[in-house]
Amino acid sequence: MTKLFTAEWMSAYKDELNKDERFKTVAKLFEARIQFNFDGGAACLDIRSGGKVVDSTIGEHLLGSDIILEAPSKEWENLYANGTDFYKATSPGLGDMKVKGDAVLAFRNIMSMWLLLEVMKRVGQPAPKRPAASPDPTTSGKEIVGRYITVQGIRTYYEEAGEGPVIVAMHAASQDTMMYRHVLAGLSDEYRVISIDAPGHGKSMLPKDGAFTSLTKHAEFNEAFMDALGLKRPAIIGCSMAGNQVLELGARRPGGYSAIIPCEGADYTPTVSEFSLDIIGVDGQMLLEGWSQSLTGNRTPPDRAAEVVWQILRNAPTVMKNDLVGYAGFDKRDEMHKITDPVMMIRGDGDWLVSQEATEATAARIKGAKVHVLEGVGHYPMIENPKEFNDAVRGFLHSINY
């Protein structure tokens, strides 16, 4: 390798980590020798109490290493060029990095591991130029009202604002109605916008058997919710887990919706490993704190990026895990041809979890489906860039005279 893992570069990497206050804070209780394996060689860092890197070496450490990050040189070069990070590089089917040695230690300190590689990107390189931030959200001024309804025996919370044609919004894993606060505020000048807390999320009660582990269960529940409100052919929006779910809803009830808008969704998402799901069940907040930052686009201003993290951390680890069990097991590729209602898939180009290829492959299985890409936006477009997200939704609904 030309730049990485030389003695001089490793020394500079050590110094950069020791200057990084965030790493020192996050890694305060993390002690480990980390080995980086690449084509034809290895290098090590020794991290001790207080997030202090006490030594850097070329080759394997004489005392052995606790955690080994193994990847081909092209993956390390991609990381150094900011083309990937710890989360993407170690995700099934998305990266070529393997975590060996004490993988549990690594993933139970995943924020330290993520920051370890984020700091790596800065060594010997100028600070990257960020594009102009996304615009501020707009508001209709309509009152947002919270209500409760019993659905399938579950006390269920939802919010709504505005009058007119109905939009029903369904949130991502480990989130709730808060995810759509800018959508309720921004589109309620023209539409009746309804956002629901899924069972066990936000203010909705947990089902007797625990949080759902199947997106089909979520779909059945939301059909019952919309029926209970007497909604006829609403437009439906879903993000991530619910982006998948609205695709299933469209296949379950062809002709049942005026529009279907999956955001960061696809018909097949086997991108969360069983090991990661087990870690989430124990240390969900730590794993998803870094995950949500990794998935946020580069036009997202700091306050909205911080809100992404805050929103996703408000649910219990068991709920987080069960959501992602459903997401990881989702495969409705053989059902997409059943959808007959208008579909526009929205994707942020900074979302590595749901690739452009996966989005386009899904759209290709749905007659007439469109794809709309938001520049510099990640996995949470209605939080990160609500103005352009709302504009895209409104433009599509106008195009189909809704």
**pLDDT tens digits, one per residue of 69-96:** 999 999 999 999 999 999 999 998 899 9
Q: Are strands 32-38 and 41-48 parallel, antiparallel or unpaired?
A: antiparallel
Q: Which amino acid is at 40?
A: G
Q: Within 13 Å and on the Cβ side, how many CA atoms surround 359?
A: 26
CA 394/CA 290 separation, integer angstroms: 32
pLDDT computed for residue 40 by the predictor: 87
Strand pairing partners for 345? 371
Helix (H) or strand (E) holding 274: helix 274-294
pLDDT computed for residue 224 by the predictor: 98
| CATH fold for domain 7-120 | Nonspecific Lipid-transfer Protein; Chain A (3.30.1050)
- Give the CA distances from residue 179 to residues 137, 150, 304, in Å, rounded to whole numbers and listed in that order: 13, 22, 11
Q: Are strands 166-170 and 192-196 parallel, antiparallel or unpaired?
A: parallel
Whether 1 has a pLDDT exceeding 60, the answer reads: no
Mean pLDDT of all residues belonging to the chain: 96
pLDDT computed for residue 49 by the predictor: 87
Share of the chain above pLDDT 90, in %: 93
Segments making up each domain of the chain, as ranges: 7-120, 145-399
**pLDDT tens digits, one per residue of 15-71:** 999 999 999 999 999 999 999 999 989 999 999 988 999 999 999 998 999 999 999
pLDDT computed for residue 2 by the predictor: 55
CA 286/CA 321 separation, integer angstroms: 13
**CATH number, domain 145-399, options 3.40.50.720, 3.30.70.520, 3.40.50.1820, 3.30.310.50:** 3.40.50.1820
pLDDT band at 264 (very low <50, low <70, confident <90, very high): very high
CA-based end-to-end distance of the chain: 56
pLDDT band at 130 (very low <50, low <70, confident <90, very high): confident
Q: Indicate yes or no: pTM above 0.75.
A: yes
Whether 174 has a pLDDT exceeding 90, the answer reads: yes
- Give the CA distances from residue 137 to residues 164, 203, 239, 301, in Å, rounded to whole numbers and listed in that order: 21, 25, 18, 12
* Secondary structure of residue 39 in the 3-state scheme: coil
**pLDDT tens digits, one per residue of 278-290:** 999 988 888 999 9
**pLDDT tens digits, one per residue of 302-339:** 999 999 999 999 989 999 999 999 999 999 999 999 99
Share of the chain above pLDDT 70, in %: 100
Q: State phi, psi for 204 to the nearest 5 degrees.
A: -85, 140
CA 382/CA 388 separation, integer angstroms: 9
Q: Judge contact between 144 and 192, C-beta under 8 A.
A: no
Q: Which amino acid is at 14?
A: K
**pLDDT tens digits, one per residue of 209-228:** 999 999 999 999 999 999 99
pLDDT computed for residue 262 by the predictor: 98
Percent composition of the chain: helix, strand, coil (DSSP 3-state, to 5): 40, 20, 40
| Range 315-336 burial, b when 16+ CB lie within 10 A, else e | bbbbbbbbbbbbbbebebeeeb
